[in-house]
A and B are shown apart, each in its own frame.
Chain A
Amino acid sequence: MIKKKLHLSTLQLFLASLFLVFSMMGAQAQEDATTSDAESATPVEATPSESDTSGGNATQGEALFKANCASCHKLYKKAVGPALFEVTKRHDREWLYEWIKNSAALIATGDAEALAIYNEYNQSNMNAFPGLSNQDIDNILAYTDTPKPVATTAAPVDGEAAAGGGGTSSMTNNIVLGALALVLIVLIVVLFAVNTTLKRFATANGIQTEFEEEDRTERTPIWKAFVQNQFLVLVTAIFLLLASAYFVYGALMSVGVDQGYAPVQPIHYSHRIHAGVSQIDCKYCHSSARESKHSGIPSLNVCMNCHKSIAEVADGTYQEGIEEYGIDYNKEIQKLYSATGWSEDEQAFVGEEQPVRWVRIHNLPDLAYFNHAQHVTAGNIACQTCHGPVEEMEVMYQYSPLTMGWCINCHRETNVDLAGNGYYEEIHKELSEKRGGRQLTVADLGGIECGKCHY
């Protein structure tokens, strides 16, 4: 067994000291991180006030409010019914109990306060809630007293913490980079030293290290050599001809093909948010795809079905819109309101209607007949098969080429959906005997005849 003598070289010493410095810095950085976390954790976001004169529980009230009241009321904004913030200061608590449990009965008694509200809000009946106990109502009322959360209270604390964290981390980065540069310089110096030592060693041993330039013969330039080689010229000419044919043919084949067409629409409507994030069914808005030749653009009443109560997007969505797409989604919703004449303050359609001039993207020439209903309802073709991943499109574009070859291809490959369709019963029985059970494609049923699409 050979024992090696333990001795530290200068390099080892250097590495060890470097390691020590790094580990200390790491510990410090960690310490920084924990302190900044602790700082940001201390001021918690404003909780709904628990202590109320009646002892209502605002947290429970919030759940009740969202389940029962939010369909007509908002806290800080007029909706179908009045804004409910601090409603306890406007009305007597006993009166509120009675009103919430059965407002119609209270109106019937001729209560002046009740009648005034009833008439102010277009005589729309508030639902009766006999199921709510006084305690429940107290909870809801406690929730309505929650002051509007001010976004600026929590944000600066986070911002400071983030900035502080960013500062320390960038400082650590600088130190690390400096250390790395130092190591690099040391390495270069070491390399030079090794090189000179080796050279000295070589000269001492009489090994030749410098070589002299030998005389070279004059060579012909490469283009002259190329021209002189006729075979190479021929091959290149053929290659160029083929390449130009390829590009000319490609250019001609793209005439009249609008794949990827994505014009700017008058309202920045995002399919990504509606069909993707919110998971709204395609046919919710494009309902005529089920029944009609046209899968129409939804009229604005369909927009207002939801946007009557959604005047602003969620904060996260808003930020995403600004940062990733440069779009203020809330302004786009306002465009919808001005098109329909909806007034948010009055919660009524008061303005002038102005239809939205959407730009149609998918255009077939008038000489072709295409029917959505028979593809969507009878054929059971998924929307994405032809229109692509619409639920991922922030801006709508044409996904498929919509050329005749594309149609025919699909008709040749797609099997007819025969299940549960009485129309095909006979033909299916007959043909399946004849062809030994092979599936029927659209082309088998005459789906690629001229008259089917071009009259």
Chain B
Amino acid sequence: KEVDAKSNRSFQYFPNMYESVGYEAYQEGAIFPGNMEAQKPVDGTVSRGWMPYEYEDDNDGYASAKANLINPVPLTEDHLSNGQALYGIYCAICHGAKGNGVGYLVETEKILGVPSYDAREITEGSIYHVMYHGINYMGSYASQTSIEERWEIVHFVEALRADLMGVPR
């Protein structure tokens, strides 16, 4: 099917309820600071079903998360397969489907220096911490994944690491 590109929208006939009266997500609005409808919630507020992450984004926070943070999501078949699916979307592009640091972007040399999971000493706490805050060139994935999803990914990363090191899962 061929679609002809055009740079203008088509005519509309009596667009009575086409434009939203209320504010829609992502729209512009003159009354908002910065002209953005999406405003940041007040610092320190906590919404239902969400808890703030307590470890700071620095070396101490990393060390402390690595030592103390425990995965609250139980290791079940469902969580693991969810983790695998999410890993495929967000992580495999650089870290590789097997976690050996050779994702497609590394293969094509767009991004370099991605370590294999068995090359470093990592714990479930440190995996989560890095996903939340990012580390060096890796950015934070907190905006794309929920708390539970990140812990599911942690389960799958640990499984990959066990495979790489030849340890039974």
Contacts and interface: CB of A to CB of B under 8 A. Distances in A.
A323 interface: no
Contacts of A306: 105, 110-111, 139
Given A71-B136, A308-B139, A255 B11 contact: yes
A297 B25 CA distance: 11
13 contacts: A71-B115, A71-B136, A260-B4, A262-B6, A278-B105, A281-B90, A294-B25, A306-B105, A308-B137, A309-B112, A310-B111, A366-B19, A398-B3
- The bracket for how many chain B residues form the interface is 35 or more
B3 A67 contact: no
Q: Which one of B18, B35, B134 has the highest number of Cβ atoms from chain A below 10 Å of its Cβ?
A: B18
Contact of A71 (B18, B28, B110, B112): B112
Interface string A260-295: 111110000000000000111101100100010010
Interface string B84-122: 000011100100000001001100111111110001100
Interface of A: 66-73, 79-80, 123-125, 127, 131, 254-264, 278-281, 283-284, 287, 291, 294, 296-297, 299, 301-302, 304-306, 308-310, 314, 355, 357, 360, 363, 365-367, 388, 395, 397-399
Contacts of A287: 89-90, 143-145
Given A255-B12, A262-B5, A279-B93, A301 B140 contact: yes
A387 to B, nearest CB: 11
A242 B115 CA distance: 69
A309 B101 contact: no
Interface centre among A256, A264, A291 (most CB of B within 10 A): A256
Interface of B: 3-13, 15, 17-21, 24-26, 28, 34-36, 59, 88-90, 93, 101, 104-105, 108-115, 119-120, 134, 136-141, 143-146
B123 to A, nearest CB: 15
A299 B142 CA distance: 12
Contacts of B18: 365-367
Nearest to A122: B58
A346 B167 CA distance: 42
B93 A280 contact: yes
Nearest to A123: B59
B155 to A, nearest CB: 18
A261 B138 contact: no
Given A256-B13, A365-B15, A397-B5, A67 B115 contact: yes
Given A260-B3, A279-B104, A296-B25, 11 more contacts: A71-B112, A256-B13, A263-B8, A287-B89, A294-B25, A297-B26, A310-B111, A355-B34, A360-B26, A366-B19, A366-B21
B136 A388 contact: no
B24 to A, nearest CB: 8
Given A278-B104, A395-B5, A397-B3, A124 B136 contact: yes
Contact of A263 (B4, B7, B20, B104): B7
A355 B89 contact: no
Contacts of B6: 260-262
B18 to A, nearest CB: 4
Contacts of A257: 10
B144 A310 contact: no
A442 B144 CA distance: 30
A308 B139 CA distance: 8
A281 B93 contact: yes
- Of A262, A297, A363, most buried by chain B (CB within 10 Å of CB) is A262
